[in-house]
Amino acid sequence: MTARALRTAAWKRYNLRIIWLSLLYCAFLLPAVYGFKHHLITGAAAWIAAVLPALPIIGIFGAMGRYLVEEPDEYVRMLTVRQMLWAMGFTLSCATIWGFLDNFGLVGHVDGYWIVVLWYFGQAIGSIANRVTLGDGRC
């Protein structure tokens, strides 16, 4: 299947949602970082400012779920599901290993959002796995 054929209408809608959510993420993150850096935010406002940048990322996961529901091409959907399974296995495995290394005092604590960074990296691994095992895939 060519790369062009893999870009279905559902995939294009998904990309559009991701762009909007990414813009929203920047809009929430930058003021939050500025506010915390200059000690402008305290109390309940600190909680709200910390949670706001997380919401667009959660929206991205929601967009992925919606893409899976909307994608009519079964083969493309299967490729995406395989990619997500690889990402999930990779992320949870890394989190488990790091957690035990941390528990046994070998490494320090890390911020939880690195899990999501790992997950995106895992998506790339899933794409490579699709290419290697099925000769098809998209990044």
Q: Is 89 in the site for another protein (CB under 8 A)?
A: yes
Q: Give the C-alpha separation, 42 to 104, whole Å.
A: 34
Pick the stretch among 6-14, 15-23, 114-122 that binds another protein (CB under 8 A). Answer: 114-122
Q: Is 116 in the site for another protein (CB under 8 A)?
A: yes
What DSSP string describes 60-122?
HHHHHHHHHHH---HHHHHHHHHHHHHHHHHHHHHHHHHHHHHHTTSS----TTHHHHHHHHH
Q: Which is nearer to another protein, 3 or 23 (CB)?
A: 23
Which residues of this chain interact with another protein, rule CB under 8 A?
A: 32, 36, 46-47, 49-51, 53-54, 57-58, 61-62, 64-65, 68, 81, 84-85, 88-89, 91-106, 109-116, 119
